[in-house]
């Protein structure tokens, strides 16, 4: 076990194939940097949940290896729970327990002393704002409240690594902000966070790095700022007077990756902003009136969409 490793999570050609199906995960190599918050992205069925289960030892890989703190994950072991704080997308707990009872059971499993455990339980229930319902049965809790209990259980023994699956799922705006602040605070203490999310704006706000899975493979991996500053396709919206003629003029231009028409609007994905003057020149020469050319500011949403569209077109 090497807690000082540069990559608390890494995989080597990690693959998983379910019976009579194609590969859910196909030779995936990932590296999660120590002390960073890394976002894990992908459409439904991309392989995110399978990856997380393999990292936790809940599934056996078909081939390849996964490592936590340089220790190979072969099957679910007690040491994983000691070093990983895990929050599933849909946490489930025995409904007859209260949050206090549940966390104390978890703490005893971790070998925490009673005095330390009691203080820690109070601290965490206060942190996730459940102190007022700490002695109520969990079966009466809403999904958002259940999510907060799950986060408290992940934080309980203050592990060096967190794997969080949709951590703000089911929470209202205040709950989302609370959870994001807790995650940031843990990261400021040097903890490594690996979190999946469908909320791309949240990922851009929270994470320094991302991994994008598509079709069971890594489509992109690296720093968000690198993705946003790279020479990636640009989204352009044209407002013109004759869309049919415009489409005929631009449809065969090699630098236009895709386009859709909606009334007088044409939304295009082009290779670069440098292509826009050429488009304008072509339209003007053919007496097409251009009412507006709008270039979308590149953010993680359209950057990821461009990557996905590009992968599907290959």
> How do residues 290-309 score in pLDDT, each as one tens digit?
999 888 766 788 778 777 87
Label residue 197 left, alpha or beta by phi (over 0 means left) and psi (-120 to 50 means alpha): beta
pLDDT grade for 43, boundaries at 50, 70 and 90: confident
Q: Please state the domain extents for the chain.
A: 9-226, 233-297
Q: What is the pLDDT of residues 47-95, one digit of tens each?
A: 899 999 999 998 999 999 999 999 999 876 667 778 999 999 889 999 9
Q: For residue 150, what is the DSSP state?
A: H
Tens-place pLDDT, residues 151-185:
999 999 999 999 999 999 889 999 999 999 999 99
The whole-number average pLDDT for the span 20-28 is 86
CA distance 67 to 69: 6
Task: Give percent above pLDDT 90 in the chain.
Answer: 62
pLDDT at 313 over 60: no
Q: Please tell me the predicted confidence (pLDDT) of residue 297.
A: 64
- Burial, 95: exposed, middle or buried (Cβ in 10 Å; 0-12, 13-18, 19+)? exposed
What topology does CATH give the domain 233-297? Alpha-Beta Plaits (3.30.70)
pLDDT at 312: 57
* pLDDT above 70 for 232: no
Q: Under 8 Å CB-to-CB from 98, ≥6 apart: which residues?
A: 134, 135, 136, 137, 138
The edge-to-edge listing of strands for the beta sheet with 290-295 is 256-262, 265-270, 234-240, 290-295
Cα radius of gyration rounded to whole Å, the chain: 24
CATH of domain 9-226: 3.40.50.300
pLDDT value for 230: 65
HSE on the CB side for 129, CA within 13 Å?
12
**Would you state the pLDDT for residue 298?**
66
| C-alpha span between 247 and 288 (Å, rounded) | 11
Are the C-beta atoms of 216 and 21 separated by less than 8 Å?
no
Helix residue ranges per DSSP H, the chain: 48-55, 78-83, 99-109, 114-127, 143-155, 173-188, 200-206, 224-229, 243-250, 276-285, 300-313
The CA distances from residue 274 to 18, 248, 250, 269, 287, in Å, are 46, 21, 15, 13, 22
Among 14-28, 139-153, 154-168, 188-202, the least confident range:
14-28
Q: What is the pLDDT of residue 156?
A: 94
d(CA 52, CA 231): 31
């Amino acid at each position: 076990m090497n807690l000082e490793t540069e990559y608390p999570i890494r995989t080597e050609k990690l693959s998983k194939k379910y019976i009579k199906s194609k590969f859910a995960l196909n030779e995936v190599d990932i590296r999660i940097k120590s002390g960073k918050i890394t976002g894990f992205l992908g459409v439904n069925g991309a392989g995110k949940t399978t990856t997380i289960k393999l990292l936790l030892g809940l599934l056996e890989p078909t081939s390849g290896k996964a490592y936590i703190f340089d220790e190979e994950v072969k099957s679910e072991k007690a040491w994983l729970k000691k070093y990983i704080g895990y929050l599933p997308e849909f946490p489930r707990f025995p409904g007859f327990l209260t949050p206090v009872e549940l966390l104390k059971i978890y703490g005893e499993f971790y070998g925490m002393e009673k005095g330390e455990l009691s203080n820690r339980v109070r601290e965490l229930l206060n942190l996730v704002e459940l102190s007022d319902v700490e002695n109520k049965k969990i079966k009466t809790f809403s999904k958002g409240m259940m999510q907060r209990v799950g986060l408290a259980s992940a934080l309980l023994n203050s592990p060096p690594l967190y794997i969080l699956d949709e951590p703000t799922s089911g929470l209202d705006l205040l709950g989302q902000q609370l959870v994001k602040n807790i995650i940031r605070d843990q990261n400021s203490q040097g903890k490594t966070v690996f979190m999946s999310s469908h909320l791309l704006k949240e990922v851009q706000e929270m994470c320094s790095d991302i991994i994008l899975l598509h079709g069971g493979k890594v489509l992109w991996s690296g720093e968000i700022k690198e993705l946003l500053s790279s020479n990636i396709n640009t989204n352009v919206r044209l407002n013109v007077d004759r869309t049919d003629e415009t489409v005929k003029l631009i449809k065969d231009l090699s630098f236009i990756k895709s386009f859709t028409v909606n009334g007088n609007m044409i939304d295009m994905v082009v290779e670069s902003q440098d292509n826009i003057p050429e488009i304008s020149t072509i339209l003007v020469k053919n007496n097409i009136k251009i009412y507006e050319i709008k270039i979308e500011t590149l953010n993680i949403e359209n950057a990821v969409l461009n990557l996905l569209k590009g992968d599907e077109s290959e």
